[in-house]
Amino acid sequence: MPPFLRLYLVLFAALFGFSAPSIAVDAPGVRKNSLGVTFQEIRGLPVSFARWETRVSDFEIFVKESGYDWNQKAPFAQTADHPVVNVNLADALAFCAWLTKKDHAAGMITGSQLYRLPTNEEWDVASGCAAPVSVRGVAAKPRNLPDEIFPWGTQWPPPPKAGNFSSKELGVPDDGYAYTSPVGSFDPSPTGLYDLAGNVWEWAWDEASRASGMATLRGGAWPYFRKESLLSAYRYAVPETLRKASVGFRIVFEDKAVAAGLVASAALGDKQRRELLTASSAVSQEEIETKRKQLTQKASITDEERKNATARGMRTGTEATPFVNSLGMKFQRLPSGNLLFGENQVREKEVAAWVAATGRVRTQKTSSAQTEAQPAVNISWSEAKEFCGWLTDREHYMKTITPDASYRLPTEAEGSAFPQKDLTEWCEDAAPEAPGERIVRGGSEGDLNSSPHRHLREGAFRPDLGFRLVLTNPRLQGP
């Protein structure tokens, strides 16, 4: 689990009176339950996905311990580590309810935590066909996605080790399995999940399906080979009662209290984030409203607290007494307006905190000679904006800044108040003469230094290109 997410859960526990997830942590971003199933956090979702499909061994334990009436063996040989098949929607839901009760009784999860089936929206994000939004303290803008994307990427036919499909019909080398394969036999998806494509169809279930008697299957299966059925976005609508030798399921882990808090927090701001979270979460509107009221009450910081500099570190920021945030970054107030300007460029140690908290992999690594106290370079504009969103979310939850304050990049005009000579820095401004490019200011000895109006692609990296932050605070008005 990323360090900041751990801190965030502890803070929510302290504020709202519930226990942080006690399901075992197996590795960073991975949890493990009583059946030995590991769960992977997915960037952009308030749930963690089982890394593989529910196995024959898992379902056999369920049937034995619960006395559930099920005897639908596969018509071909399977071992304990193959995915269970011939399960309908009711079977999968019963398994989730049993496992939730089992792990709760064992003290592995709390009363607000549960196992369930993923929704279609969650499956979309996990398989790469929907862009994540700001969740878990990570701000991610919707990105332009290819028209055709598969759980393994965009290549067609599927590359070797992409999954268990009908190899002969695809015209690719035999994958070695005539029917199902042991879970995890093929390469994981970019999100760390096995068999999202192929092996068995997986049940997805959400509010839209509950009254219709229909449900959705996702991901394709071992006998399938048609391109459209393997697309990440493909939804196969079938009766809830369907049992087939190509149908299984995967579960997710959710803490409803945390999910309700996330949705309630989003309800105070980003509409897009709120809509995705509401659609993908199993929490009720009543639970969301309760958390929203708690957030509104607990997150308010009065002007008197700010003036007395006791609002968990929030200061007006002066040259003599700069505002210092939770990462130790110092900000001074500009002569007028409601802006605090970063005294220094964002350093390697602050970017390292973002990477550790979110699991984000930097697209372009810095030189090994770069120390944590030096400015972070080789950062794209898009990455700088993600950092701003993450830091804003982090400090809202920690109450280091007021709810209406936020971090962003400075505009070119604002940057003139703090001349920059050492490094080129990103600005918030779009370059009007160059779509997809952003203004940069300052400069090192590089070739940009002589240009009066400079801009670079949003995804550009340079060893002399970094960024600085400003903190906007509408409560700070006038000189």
Confidence of residue 100 (pLDDT cuts 50, 70, 90): very high
> Residue 370 has what pLDDT?
74
Backbone torsion region of residue 153, taken as left when φ is above 0, otherwise alpha when ψ lies between -120 and 50, otherwise beta: left
Q: What's the rounded Cα separation, in Å, for the pair 43 and 136?
A: 8
Are 46 and 281 within 8 A, CB to CB? yes
Confidence of residue 413 (pLDDT cuts 50, 70, 90): confident
Strand (E) or helix (H) holding 241: none
Longest dimension (CA), the chain: 78
Mean pLDDT of the 96-102 span: 95
Q: What's the rounded Cα separation, in Å, for the pair 136 and 21?
A: 14
Higher local confidence (pLDDT), 440 or 436: 440
> Residue 64 has what pLDDT?
97
Mean pLDDT of the 241-251 span: 97
Domain ranges of the chain: 3-257, 305-472
Which strands make up the sheet holding 201-204, listed edge to edge? 236-239, 214-218, 201-204, 247-248
Mean pLDDT of the 150-160 span: 91
Q: Which residue, 440, 331, 460, is CA-closest to 391? A: 331
Q: Which residue, 442, 478, 437, is CA-closest to 458? A: 437
Higher local confidence (pLDDT), 300 or 379: 379
> Residue 458 has what pLDDT?
82
Note the pTM of the prediction, 2 decimals: 0.54
Residue 349 confidence (pLDDT) above 80:
yes
Q: What's the rounded Cα separation, in Å, for the pair 52 and 386?
A: 30
Structure tokens at 217: 């299957």
Higher local confidence (pLDDT), 264 or 100: 100
Mean pLDDT of the 320-325 span: 79
Higher local confidence (pLDDT), 381 or 402: 381
Residue with tokens 């009065």: 302
Handedness of CA 325, 330, 332, 337 (dihedral sign): negative
> Residue 432 has what pLDDT?
82
Are 262 and 205 within 8 A, CB to CB? no
Residue 10 confidence (pLDDT) above 60:
no
Higher local confidence (pLDDT), 184 or 146: 184
Q: What's the rounded Cα separation, in Å, for the pair 418 and 62?
A: 64
The set of long-range contacts for 299-304, using a CB threshold of 8 Å and a minimum separation of 24, is 299/396, 299/399, 299/403, 300/403, 301/399, 301/402, 301/403, 303/475
> Residue 135 has what pLDDT?
33
Residue 279 confidence (pLDDT) above 50:
no
Residue with tokens 């979702």: 45
> Residue 5 has what pLDDT?
38
> Residue 197 has what pLDDT?
93
Residue 336 confidence (pLDDT) above 90:
no
Mean pLDDT of the 82-108 span: 94
Q: What CATH architecture is 3-257? A: Alpha-Beta Complex (3.90)
Residue 106 confidence (pLDDT) above 70:
yes
Q: At what angle do helices 271-280 and 120-127 cross, to 10 degrees?
A: 110
At residue 438, the 3 state secondary structure works out as strand
Higher local confidence (pLDDT), 177 or 367: 177
Q: At what angle do helices 3-16 and 285-299 cross, to 10 degrees?
A: 90
pLDDT in tens, 159-180: 999 999 998 888 888 999 999 9
> Residue 417 has what pLDDT?
64
- For the ranges 145-154, 286-295, 374-383, the maximum mean pLDDT occurs at 374-383
> Residue 194 has what pLDDT?
96
Higher local confidence (pLDDT), 347 or 260: 347
Which strands make up the sheet holding 30-32, listed edge to edge? 24-27, 30-32, 38-41, 47-50, 252-255, 113-116
Which strands make up the sheet holding 424-430, listed edge to edge? 454-457, 437-442, 424-430, 465-466
Confidence of residue 471 (pLDDT cuts 50, 70, 90): very high
Are 436 and 349 within 8 A, CB to CB? no
Residue 98 confidence (pLDDT) above 90:
yes
Residue 421 confidence (pLDDT) above 80:
no
> Residue 303 has what pLDDT?
44
